[in-house]
Amino acid sequence: MLSYALRRGVLAIAVAITVSLATFFLLNFATDPAQALAGEDATPEVVQQIREEYGFDKPLAVQYLRWLGGLVHGDFGQSYHWRSPVGALIASHAPVTIRLALMAIAITILVAIPLGAIAALRPNSFVDRLSLSVAVGAQAIPGFWLGLVLIILFAVKFPIFPVSGDSTWKHFVLPAIVLGAGSVPSVMRLTRSGLLEVLGSDYIRTARAKGFRGVRLLTRHAMRNAMLPVVNVLAVQLGHKLGGSVIVESVFALNGLGRLAWQSILGGDVPTVQMLVFVFAITFVVLTFLADLLGAWLDPRIRLG
Amino acid sequence: MKTFRIPRTALLAVLALAAALARPVPAVAAKSDDTLVIALQRGITSVDYLYTTKREYIILSLLTDDGLTEVDPDTLEVRPLAAKSWKRVDDKTIDVTIRDDVKFHDGSPLTADDVVYTYEWVLDPKSRANRSKQFREWLAKVEKTGPYTVRFHMKYPYPLALHAMGFSMPLRKKGTYDAIAKSGALPLGQTLNGIGPYRVVSVEPGRKTVIERFDGYYKESPKGRPAIKRMVFREIPDWGTQEAELMSGGVQWAYDVPYDIASSLGASGPVKFVNGPSLRVGFLVLDAAGLSGKDNPLTKLAVRRALNYAIDRQTIVKNIVRGDARVIDSACHPAQFGCAQDVMKYPYDPKKARELLKEAGYPNGFSFDLWAYREKDSAEAIAADLAKVGIRAKLRYVQLATLNEARKKHEIQSYFGSWESGSVPDTAAIADVHWSATTDRNMSGDPKVTEYMIGAQRISDPAQRKALYEKGLQRIAEQAYWVPLYTFSLNYLVSNDLEFHPPKDGLPRLYLAKWK
């Protein structure tokens, strides 16, 4: 178990450094951070001054190593755009994204697992077909479009929720629906197929023979085994939501990590983008690791190591 | 198979939630609580304009800061603001008298010490202020000559000195930057002790910035007493969301809105579409000097003139740019001082363009690269117009940084440029960047143009300056170093409750806005 965790830890750092290296060079090739910071209409003198101030005139390798050196010493760097320490910046934006991601994953679980279970209990019935159609529909709708439609319906026509912002829990409902909807199809289909497989197994036949039926049979016996692949997918989906909510956060003007990443990319804020990519990569690895642990708990036959 | 039953407690919880949600969301702010909510695509991260450059920050700074001077929004002439008056002692010296009734937001009075401190701080390279280098270029020093008088010593007669004393140099209390002078850090800009008509109440970077009318603002200020008590600058990056906020009353003012969104929403919703001018102009720069290669067809005058004749600028303005945009013939904005209009003109004439191409030895036209980083629709229309006379423009649409880099390496035959002049209504603000001998933007290779256009910003006599600009602009037009295209327009969406007039220089002065 310990060696497994260590291997995962080393892998996480290797992934994060590789990704940060790629990010650093791509960002510097794609844009001029000094120009991005100064703005389109800044005079060449202002742009040059910023270039010298921030050390953008130094070779890229020197700039990268300087950043990496800081990281080793626990210095996450200073944001050019926000002028505050990157660590503090990420810490201040994280709660919004965490709240949004947890609400979105809760919506996914609340919608997808019951739908998948109903579909599995009545395969090829009207309910099954309807659930499948809902799932395919949800997957096909782009998030930004769904977001705007929900805003028009539930914030403009029927002002139940606010249009944008993140000051109350109500502000999170529509974005969480949009973000959660994207994961419903995969989770629902996995639940359905997992349950179908489990429901056909010998121990379920035995349970039925003992008189277990319906919800009881599902929750006490079938669900636990059917949930193994679902848990893994949910972990990956949570990772996506923590790191990939750029569009939803922009549409709903939520001041989370996704929007921070977008603003930093636009503003040529290399230290912030690098650190965000680093954090996102680590988050993914940690979540996958936790999913493995949960899998082992759900199925005692699985042993890590 | 058993039917499923929803547990009663779950049902009650859902009903309770529905009841809670059914209550409509109250409007965030509006006329009723005297709060104007402004939507910005890019938010405010710092409220200190000495350390920012972008446009949103100027709009905010005009509310929270005052400089010694300002541009009169009606006449576009410079007038005193925190200054009472000025006197030109000689070509390189200006004496400024400061008002004695100006207070900082903390209640302390503005004195000559504060003015000298602000300028000295910016002139010090250690300040790392954004326009430090720019000011060092022309300003030698500022000295106190009395409790309310200061003297400006310039390195050479700089005609834009009074403009530069405006919003570019918001005044600060002596000692404001003492802490960062020691640490060498940049100021966070989360608080501000300015002298403008509004004071900063709170800054939440990425979310909102709240400002409130400053009751101690000097009564004699040309800006006047603002009518609206509170303003909230909200960052809403998505245009669709801005539209929804405007429709639901959550936002009352949006700026630089794409024309299609502004016109459609203005025609149907609770907001009106207001269109106004901008000092931004669009133009094609042609490599007349042959920097990108001596065989470049654009080195031939007849070819450059053919390009000028071949582009139907009027149609592009009417169908693509729209709004308040106008076709231009000079290499500047007509509203700018010195922007002579009596220059050689090139009306749309594809026949003449073909004749000129034939005369230049290109009866079947030629191919060239046209670089652009914005205004893709216009660039495509231009390429289509050129194709009609046989010129095959290969459009290279890239990031601004890529274009800058390629231009620096002399790899560009022609590019679509645009310049806003920092909202300074003087031709010097566009000439300096484009016609100096050292800038890579100057692809004319013509020292005469530099002599006229840059010479005009080394003297202070307005008549002499005008004469030089006339010569320079005429030469640019005759030699067709550019294809001047059009001025831009700015689109605003404004709540029907709000009275707002678009400014002539594209700089919204929201302190003049009022509720109807």
pLDDT tens over chain A, length 305 residues: 677 777 777 877 787 778 778 877 887 776 777 777 777 667 777 777 778 777 788 888 888 888 788 877 777 777 877 878 888 889 999 999 999 999 999 999 999 998 888 888 888 888 888 888 887 887 788 888 999 999 999 999 999 999 999 989 999 999 999 999 988 888 998 898 888 888 888 888 888 888 877 777 777 778 777 787 888 888 888 888 887 688 899 999 999 999 898 888 877 788 888 888 888 888 887 888 787 777 777 776 665 55
Calculate the alpha carbon distances from B427 to B33, B336, B345, B418, B430 in Å: 43, 5, 19, 14, 6
Helix (H) / strand (E) containing B265: helix B259-268
Which pLDDT value is given to residue B147? 97
Which pLDDT value is given to residue B3? 43
| Best residue of A27, A35, A43, A121 to probe chain B, by most B CBs closer than 10 Å | A43
Contacts of B189 in chain A (CB under 8 A): 83
Architecture per CATH, A88-298: Orthogonal Bundle (1.10)
> Residue B7: closest CA among chain A residues belongs to which residue?
A215
How confident is the model over B83-107, as pLDDT tens digits? 999 999 999 999 999 999 999 999 9
Which pLDDT value is given to residue A79? 83
How confident is the model over A276-305, as pLDDT tens digits? 888 888 888 788 878 777 777 777 666 555
Residue at B355: amino acid letter: E
Check A260 against B206: CB less than 8 A apart: yes
The secondary structure of B429-443 as a DSSP string is HHHHHHHSSS-TT--
Which pLDDT value is given to residue B321? 92
Which pLDDT value is given to residue B175? 95
Percent of chain B past pLDDT 70, that is, above it, reads: 94
CB hemisphere CA count around B197 (13 angstroms): 23
Q: Is A127 on the interface with B (CB under 8 A)?
A: no
Query: Which of residues B407 and A123 earns the better pLDDT score?
Result: B407
Check B55 against A41: CB less than 8 A apart: yes
Check A84 against B133: CB less than 8 A apart: no
Q: How far is CA A72 from the centre of its chain?
A: 26
| Residue among A35, A156, A253 whose CB faces B404 most closely | A35
| Best residue of B133, B177, B408, B432 to probe chain A, by most A CBs closer than 10 Å | B133
Asked if pLDDT for residue B17 goes beyond 60, the answer is: no
Check B244 against A156: CB less than 8 A apart: yes
Check A45 against B133: CB less than 8 A apart: yes
The pair of three-digit structure tokens given for residue B488, joined into one six-digit string: 């831009």
In whole angstroms, what is the distance from residue A63 CA to residue A60 CA? 5
Helix (H) / strand (E) containing B407: helix B400-408
Domain ranges for chain A: 2-72, 88-298
How confident is the model over B365-392, as pLDDT tens digits? 999 999 998 889 999 999 999 999 999 9
**Mean pLDDT of all residues in B499-510:** 94
Which pLDDT value is given to residue B29? 55
> At B16, is the pLDDT very low, low, confident or very high (cuts 50, 70, 90)?
low
**If we measure between CA atoms, which residue out of A195, A234, A228 comes closest to residue A301?**
A228
How confident is the model over B145-168, as pLDDT tens digits? 999 999 999 999 999 999 999 999
Asked if pLDDT for residue B297 goes beyond 50, the answer is: yes
Contact indicator for A268, A25 with CB cutoff of 8 Å:
no
> Residue A162: closest CA among chain B residues belongs to which residue?
B25
Q: What is the largest CA-CA distance in chain B?
A: 100
Which pLDDT value is given to residue B1? 41
Scan residues 18-57 of A and list those with Cβ closer than 8 Å to B: 30-32, 35-36, 38-46, 48-50, 53
| Residue among B42, B235, B421 whose CB faces A253 most closely | B235
Contacts of B53 in chain A (CB under 8 A): 38-39, 42, 46
How confident is the model over A195-254, as pLDDT tens digits? 888 888 888 888 888 887 777 777 777 877 778 788 888 888 888 888 768 889 999 999
ipTM over 0.85: no
Asked if pLDDT for residue B123 goes beyond 70, the answer is: yes
How confident is the prediction for chain B on average, in pLDDT? 91
Delineate the domains of chain B, giving CATH numbers in brackets: 31-252+497-515 (3.40.190.10), 278-488 (3.10.105.10)
Q: Is A256 on the interface with B (CB under 8 A)?
A: no
| Residue among B241, B421, B432 whose CB faces A151 most closely | B241
Radius of gyration of chain A (CA): 23
Quick one: DSSP state of residue B334?
T
Which pLDDT value is given to residue A76? 78
Scan residues 134-153 of A and list those with Cβ closer than 8 Å to B: 144, 148, 151-152
Which pLDDT value is given to residue A302? 64
**How near does any CA of chain B get to the CA of A263, in Å?**
8
Check A253 against B236: CB less than 8 A apart: yes
Which pLDDT value is given to residue B24? 47
Residue at A287: amino acid letter: L
**How near does any CA of chain A get to the CA of B464, in Å?**
25
Burial class (CB in 10 A: 0-12, 13-18, 19+), B284: buried
Which pLDDT value is given to residue B366? 95
How confident is the model over B32-46, as pLDDT tens digits? 899 999 999 888 889
For B190, the 3-state DSSP assignment is coil
Check B401 against A122: CB less than 8 A apart: no
Choose the weakest-confidence range: A49-58, B217-226, B241-250, B359-368.
A49-58
| Best residue of B130, B137, B441 to probe chain A, by most A CBs closer than 10 Å | B130
Q: Is B41 on the interface with A (CB under 8 A)?
A: no
The terminus-to-terminus CA distance of chain A in angstroms comes to 5
Scan residues 214-253 of A and list those with Cβ closer than 8 Å to B: 214-215, 250-253
